[in-house]
């Protein structure tokens, strides 16, 4: 196909709507919104639990939602390290370990879709930059040299946490995991936001503003969790693949990518930045020109299949963990109440 023919086809295809079921926007948004609503429900349920800890000694304690441990990735990384080193799966924050391990496995198998489909922080960041584009007409772009420097920050943070934890002796890991700080880390996290300081609020507002101005600022530059998932996803057999013979070189897929990957210039996207959001697939108007698939185009993964996999993986992992009694923390309510009574004295172990 000549260059002129490609351009003509591109113009003809510009006004065409995507094939039914091909546009991923509505489905991914539904999944994102579902996890955001679920997270808000968790927050309310956990708030009730924390408030019940402030009552009299003999007052009943509300149920604690185990899934809140998903917000303790560092504790989960330590638990996973302890499991690998000792073969012991501790029961201090079991749900956190299950969710963290599942997220790593999913990234290894089907790329880091957790970031663009499940993570409520990633969803909030996406909503922020879309709001910024509507308000100001466009999002700002970092100079290339600054973008490279800033992207290295999350890998520096990741390296610090990973190597610090991997190099910890088993005794030190055990002391932290079973210690009072880790047992009540979820409550400390809640109090950090419920009793927010002026400094912390200022930092959040600045990050929020930057997320409005720049696409995925928080995820792209500061999230070590996303960086870790990106490294795992680099080994995934699943990837965005472009058929150069069918492609009309309109560049829509590259412009649609929220992570600034030049999809239209690549036959296969191996970038650690790819979050399997299907934005490039939805932007393409040429049937079969681009998709997410296994090597050599075998078994193309549809957006519906990907969404079902993400939802089913988290739902069934929780159900299976409950079946094997590895979901709820071993820390009894009485211990939580006792630790809460002296929470100001419980500092991070050194």
Instruction: Give DSSP secondary structure letters for 111-179.
Output: -SHIIIII-HHHHHHHHHHHHHHHHHSS-B---HHHHHHHHHHHHHHHHHHHHHHHTS-HHHHHHHHTS
Q: Which residue has the tokens 């091909």?
A: 22
DSSP character for 269? Answer: E
Q: pLDDT digits over 114-168, tens only?
A: 999 999 999 999 999 999 999 999 999 999 999 999 999 999 999 999 999 999 9
Q: How many domains does the chain have?
A: 1
Cα separations in angstroms, 333 against 153, 161, 327: 39, 30, 15
- Is 222 contained in some domain? yes
The pLDDT value given to residue 86: 98
- Is 153 contained in some domain? yes
Distance of CA 243 to the CA centre of its chain: 29
Task: Write the CB contacts of 238 (distance below 8 Å, at least 6 apart in sequence).
Answer: 109, 110, 111, 276, 292, 293, 294, 301
- Is 283 contained in some domain? yes
- Is 119 contained in some domain? yes
Phi, psi of 240 (to 5 degrees): -75, 130
- Is 234 contained in some domain? yes
Can you list the pairs that 143-150 forms with residues at least 24 positions away whose Cβ atoms lie under 8 Å?
Answer: 150/220, 150/221
The pLDDT value given to residue 13: 37
- Is 185 contained in some domain? yes
Q: Which residues pair with 241 in a beta bridge?
A: 268, 291
From CA 317, how far away is CA 309, in angstroms rounded?
12
- Is 316 contained in some domain? yes
Tens of pLDDT along the chain (350 residues) come to: 454 544 444 433 333 344 433 455 789 999 999 999 999 999 999 999 999 999 887 889 999 999 999 999 999 999 999 999 999 999 999 999 999 999 999 999 999 999 999 999 999 999 999 999 999 999 999 999 999 999 999 999 999 999 999 999 999 999 999 999 999 999 999 999 999 999 999 999 999 999 999 999 999 999 999 999 999 999 999 999 999 999 999 999 999 999 999 999 999 999 999 999 999 999 999 999 999 999 877 789 999 999 999 999 999 999 999 999 999 999 999 999 999 999 999 988 87
Supply the range of the domain harboring residue 299. 3-8+19-344
Coil, strand or helix: which one is 230?
Answer: helix
The pLDDT value given to residue 296: 78
- Is 349 contained in some domain? no
Contact 301, 238 (CB under 8 A): yes
**Maximum distance among all alpha carbons in the chain?**
80
pTM score, two decimals?
0.91
């Amino acid at each position: 196909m000549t260059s002129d023919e490609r351009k003509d086809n591109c113009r003809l295809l510009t006004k065409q709507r995507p094939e039914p079921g091909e546009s991923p926007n509505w489905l991914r948004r539904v999944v994102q919104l579902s996890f955001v609503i679920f997270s808000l429900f968790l927050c309310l349920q956990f708030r009730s639990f924390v408030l019940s800890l402030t009552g009299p000694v003999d007052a009943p304690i509300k149920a604690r939602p185990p899934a809140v441990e998903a917000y303790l990735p560092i504790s989960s990384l330590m638990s996973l390290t302890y499991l690998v080193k000792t073969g012991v799966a501790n029961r201090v924050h079991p749900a956190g370990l299950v969710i963290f391990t599942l997220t790593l496995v999913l990234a290894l198998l089907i790329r880091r879709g957790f970031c663009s489909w499940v993570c409520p922080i990633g969803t909030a960041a996406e909503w922020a930059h879309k709001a910024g584009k509507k308000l100001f007409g466009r999002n700002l772009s970092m100079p290339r040299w600054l973008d490279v420097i800033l992207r290295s920050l999350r890998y520096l943070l990741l390296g610090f946490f990973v190597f610090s934890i991997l190099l910890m002796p088993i005794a030190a890991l055990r002391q932290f995991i079973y210690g009072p700080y880790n047992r009540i880390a979820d409550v400390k996290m809640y109090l950090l936001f419920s009793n927010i300081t002026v400094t912390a609020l200022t930092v959040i507002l600045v990050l929020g503003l930057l997320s409005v101005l720049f696409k995925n600022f928080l995820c792209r530059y500061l999230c070590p969790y996303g960086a870790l998932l990106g490294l795992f996803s680099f080994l995934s057999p699943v990837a965005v693949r472009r058929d150069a013979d069918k492609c009309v070189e309109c560049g829509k897929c590259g412009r649609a990518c929220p992570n600034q990957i030049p999809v239209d210039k690549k036959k296969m996207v191996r970038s650690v930045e790819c979050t399997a959001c299907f934005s490039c697939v939805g932007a393409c108007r040429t049937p079969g020109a681009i998709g997410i698939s296994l090597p050599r185009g075998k078994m193309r993964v549809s957006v519906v299949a990907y969404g079902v996999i993400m939802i089913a993986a988290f739902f069934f992992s929780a159900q299976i963990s409950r079946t094997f009694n590895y979901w709820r923390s071993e820390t009894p309510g009485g211990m939580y109440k006792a630790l809460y009574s002296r929470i100001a004295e419980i500092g991070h172990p050194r």
